[in-house]
A and B are shown apart, each in its own frame.
Chain A
Amino acid sequence: MKFGVIVFPGSNCDADCLHAVKAVLDQPVEYIWHKSNSVDGFDCIILPGGFSYGDYLRAGAIARFSPVMEAVINYAQKGGWVLGICNGFQVLLEAGLLPGAMRRNNNLQFICQDTYLKVENCSTPFTALCHPGEVLKIPVAHGEGNYYCDEKTLKELKQNNQIVFRYCDEMGKVTGEANPNGSINNIAGICNRHGNVLGMMPHPERCAEEILGSSDGAVLFKSILASWQRRVK
């Protein structure tokens, strides 16, 4: 299974994502420069975290118009698997591949800390090895992770089971205190209707090996490969 990691000017988690795929899955993985106009031949595309284009205008707003994004949008619309992490999630929102938008964190601070996530949907290729309600400890690091969508969109997200991760406490209780940034409905990650595009603010690549203090993030990468192997069979 071949992975591609998009590199925008200002991406800074691209090397971490590349490393995580190699270390956890031992699968081929390559960088894809933002000027490339094709993502052909890749089985999963990762949009990494960072500050693409310096977060100028709005986080992800300018990256969304880089040449590679047209290819990524086509790829996603054809059912290709796309994982956007942190800034990658913001780019997917700006590109319209996922609904909603990000606001500044409600405390106006850059938040860099471990969070607990409740897995709400285990039917995506990215969460297939999780069990419903499982709690994962995965760190966040962002200034604009305060997810927003209107009431109608939130209803649709719930109806279609598109809410994949919600901030919770260590015991898996979804509470206001466990919400680090003010996100609507404690949302930490959502997928599109078909489940082939996932955006999440927490960084699984930063906690995919025991040496990093937690390997809870590894389940995402392992899920992708397991889902792929199931699909190929």
Chain B
Amino acid sequence: MYQAKIYITLKQSVLDPQGSAVTKSLHAMGYENVKDVRVGRYLVVDVDAPSKEAAGEQVHDMCRKLLANPVIEDYTFELVEV
């Protein structure tokens, strides 16, 4: 069994209104050294697969088809055996 920890964020080229709001709020709290915030989604997916490569391939597929929207989002993931 493998566990994928998937991080999905808006692409750098896409304005992130939530991130901008959080940045402003942090500045107002005195954290003026905060340069940028990107808000995203975090998913933990357990996959039963014969090998790490097979699991990784499937997770890529899932991200491209459903979990992330490639028009506006980027994804990365870490894969560990559990």
Interface residues of B in 27-71 (CB under 8 A from A): 41, 66-67, 69, 71
Known: A101-B72, A103-B14. A108 touches B21 (CB 8 A): yes
Taking the nearest CB of chain A, how far is it from the CB of B44, in angstroms?
14
Instruction: Say if the beta carbon of A182 comes within 8 Å of chain B.
Output: yes
With A and B bound together, what is the CA distance between A100 and B70 in angstroms? 10
Q: A146 CA to B18 CA in the complex, in Å?
A: 13
Q: Give 1 or 0 for each of A92-129: 1 = CB within 8 Å of chain B CB.
A: 01100001110111111000000000000000000000
Surface stretch bound by B, among A12-20, A57-65, A158-166 = A57-65
Give Cα A99 to B71, complex, Å.
Answer: 9
Shortest beta-carbon distance from B33 to chain A in Å: 24
A42 at the interface (CB under 8 A from B): no
Given contacts A57-B66, A61-B66, A65-B66, contact A149 B71 (CB under 8 A): yes
Would you call A33 an interface residue if the criterion is a C-beta within 8 Å of the partner chain's C-beta atoms? no
Count of A-B contacts with CB under 8 A?
Answer: 38
**B66 near A105 (CB under 8 angstroms)?**
no
A148 near B69 with CB under 8 A, answer: no
Q: Tell me if B10 counts as interface (CB < 8 A to partner A).
A: yes
Give the number of chain A interface residues (Cβ < 8 Å). 21
**Which of B21, B41, B72 meets A103, CB within 8 Å?**
B72
- In the complex, whether B15 has a CB less than 8 A from a CB of chain A is yes
Q: What are the interface flags for B1-35 relative to A under an 8 Å C-beta threshold, 1 for contact and 0 otherwise?
A: 00000000010011101100100000000000000
In chain A, positions 53-97 with a C-beta closer than 8 Å to chain B are 57-58, 61-62, 65, 93-94
Q: Which residue of A lies closest to B10 (CB)?
A: A103
Given contacts A148-B72, A149-B71, A103 and B17 within 8 Å (CB-CB) = yes
State whether A103 touches B15 (Cβ < 8 A): yes
B14: A residues at CB distance < 8 A: 103, 148
Chain B residues lying within 8 Å of A61, measured Cβ to Cβ, are 66, 69
A57 B67 Cβ-Cβ under 8 A: yes
A104 to chain B minimum Cβ distance, whole angstroms, is 5
Interface members, chain A 127-160 (any B CB < 8 Å): 146, 148-150
Give B43's nearest chain A residue, CB to CB: A57
In the assembly, what is the distance between CA of A106 and CA of B14, in Å?
Answer: 12
Question: What residues on A are CB-neighbors of B18 within 8 Å?
Answer: 104, 108
Interface residues, chain A, with chain B CB atoms under 8 Å away: 57-58, 61-62, 65, 93-94, 99-101, 103-108, 146, 148-150, 182
Q: List 21 A-B contacts (CB under 8 A).
A: A57-B41, A57-B66, A58-B69, A61-B66, A61-B69, A62-B66, A65-B66, A93-B71, A101-B69, A101-B71, A103-B14, A103-B15, A103-B17, A104-B18, A106-B15, A106-B17, A108-B18, A146-B17, A148-B14, A148-B72, A150-B71
Closest CB pairs A-B (n = 9): A101-B71, A101-B72, A106-B17, A104-B17, A101-B69, A108-B17, A108-B21, A148-B72, A58-B69
